[in-house]
């Protein structure tokens, strides 16, 4: 496992190369059919990319330059047992431009930038940082600290923006919507409260999307392994976080599988799993921001991007769920007519 992780250090170079080596089909002679449904959607059909969720999508402390003087100071603060997390969070801010789905920063490989190869006019890539607890940037409406009960409010903000005169043309185009929520529920909510409320809140958000947003392919992501975050410092606490993470992931899978989301040609919900392997503390440290010891770092965001991009083209029974499989797999190069799954 260690050698595999070390091999992934060169992924940034490899993945950036992918951006230029995936064929550009915009001028190909083959044209998409006049009518598309949620079951026959390809990359070139997606015109708007949307993110809903928490700090996994806001890019809190996901700096691309951990060696800068400012970030070394923040890392030193984070290493103190009594440090306050609010300090690095406020100073570092939210690096939405470095995130795995909507990141549009220089050198960043994200799902959005890969989609742009096929759909050059796509809207939704995030170019800028935001301040802590901001209400979003572009069409990334994720909020640091958000729990699942805050998801409906994000949906309404998305709908409100979509209906502005400058964006209303996108309303009748296909949208790829990502929901990544649950980490703050795991860290802050009692396990019995998660059992009672998480499912209903996620269902409510998806129902609101289905009612208000036409032509939407919605991907719901599961949680990664959260049990070795800096704030989890005892075996008892680690076991509790692992159990709560599993519960949240089980509820996410239940919501996607057991509700009739896909009975319409214009709306679909798909589960996109994220690996939750149990790995060692040293291995985990390679993927955690030095600035706060909790949030995924730049390398982890690149790994998430590869996982989410590859799984977008795989049927449910073949989606990648193990960390080693994702690291070793080549980046997906879908055909122009290949359907999103």
pLDDT in tens, 87-132: 777 777 899 999 999 999 888 999 999 999 999 999 999 998 888 8
pTM (global) more than 0.95: no
Q: Which two tokens stand for residue 7?
A: 């091999």
Instruction: Give the relative orientation of helices 11-21 and 298-311 as an angle to the nearest 10 degrees.
Output: 40
Number of Cβ atoms within 10 Å of the Cβ of 214:
15
Statement: residue 339 has pLDDT above 80? yes
Q: Is the pLDDT of residue 75 over 90?
A: no
Q: How far apart are CA 121 and CA 7, in angstroms?
A: 34
**How much of the chain exceeds pLDDT 90, in percent?**
63
Cα–Cα dist 171/210, whole Å = 13
Give mean pLDDT, residues 237-246. 93
Q: Phi and psi of 177, rounded to 5°?
A: -115, 130
Q: What is the pLDDT of residues 142-177, one digit of tens each?
A: 999 999 999 999 999 999 999 999 999 999 999 999
Chain centroid to Cα 235, Å, comes to: 28
Q: Whole-angstrom Cα distance, residue 95 to residue 292?
A: 14
- The region that residue 219 occupies, defined by phi over 0 for left and psi between -120 and 50 for alpha, beta otherwise, is beta
- pLDDT for 81 equals 53
Which residues lie closer than 8 Å to 243 by C-beta, 6 or more apart?
A: 191
Q: What is the pLDDT of residue 33?
A: 45
- Pick the closest to residue 128 from 158, 167, 102 (CA basis): 102
Per-residue confidence band for 15, with pLDDT thresholds at 50, 70 and 90: very low
Convert the pLDDT of each residue in 265-293 to its tens digit: 999 999 999 999 887 777 777 887 777 77
Flag whether pLDDT at 70 surpasses 60.
no
The mean predicted confidence, pLDDT, of the chain is 85
Write the CATH number of the domain with boundaries 37-328: 3.40.50.1110
Q: Of all helices (H) and strands (E), which one includes residue 281?
A: helix 281-285
Please tell me the distance from the alpha carbon of residue 284 to that of residue 123, in angstroms, as a whole number. Answer: 34
For a pLDDT cut of 70, what percent of the chain falls above it?
A: 83
């Amino acid at each position: 496992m260690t050698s595999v992780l070390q091999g992934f250090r060169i992924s940034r170079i490899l993945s950036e190369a992918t951006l230029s080596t995936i064929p550009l089909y915009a001028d190909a002679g083959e044209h998409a059919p006049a009518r598309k449904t949620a079951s026959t959607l390809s990359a070139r059909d997606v015109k708007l990319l949307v993110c809903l969720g928490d700090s996994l999508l806001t890019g809190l402390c996901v700096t691309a330059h951990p060696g800068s003087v400012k970030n070394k100071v923040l890392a030193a603060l984070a290493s103190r047992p009594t440090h306050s997390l609010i300090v690095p969070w406020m100073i570092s801010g939210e690096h939405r431009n470095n995130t795995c789905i909507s990141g549009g920063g220089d050198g960043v490989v994200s799902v959005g930038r890969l989609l742009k190869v096929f759909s050059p006019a796509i809207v939704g890539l995030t170019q800028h940082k935001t301040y802590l607890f901001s209400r979003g940037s572009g069409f990334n409406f994720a909020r640091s600290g958000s729990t699942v009960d805050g998801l409906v409010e994000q949906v309404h903000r998305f709908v409100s923006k979509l209906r502005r005169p400058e964006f209303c043309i996108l309303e009748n185009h296909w949208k790829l919507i990502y929901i990544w929520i649950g980490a703050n529920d795991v860290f802050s909510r009692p396990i019995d409260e998660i059992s009672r409320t998480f499912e209903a809140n996620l269902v409510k958000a998806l129902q609101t999307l289905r009612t208000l947003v036409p032509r939407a392919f919605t991907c719901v992501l599961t949680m990664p392994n959260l049990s070795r975050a800096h704030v989890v410092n005892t075996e008892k606490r680690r076991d509790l976080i692992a159990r709560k993470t599993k519960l949240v992931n089980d509820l996410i899978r239940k919501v996607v599988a057991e509700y009739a989301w896909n009975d319409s040609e214009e709306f679909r919900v798909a589960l996109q799993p994220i690996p939750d392997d149990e790995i060692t503390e040293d291995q985990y440290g390679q993927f955690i921001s030095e600035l706060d010891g909790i949030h995924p770092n730049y390398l982890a965001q690149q790994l998430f991007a590869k996982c989410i991009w590859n799984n977008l083209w795989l049927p449910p029974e073949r989606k990648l769920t193990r960390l080693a499989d994702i690291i070793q797999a080549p980046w997906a190069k879908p055909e122009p007519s290949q359907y999103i799954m």
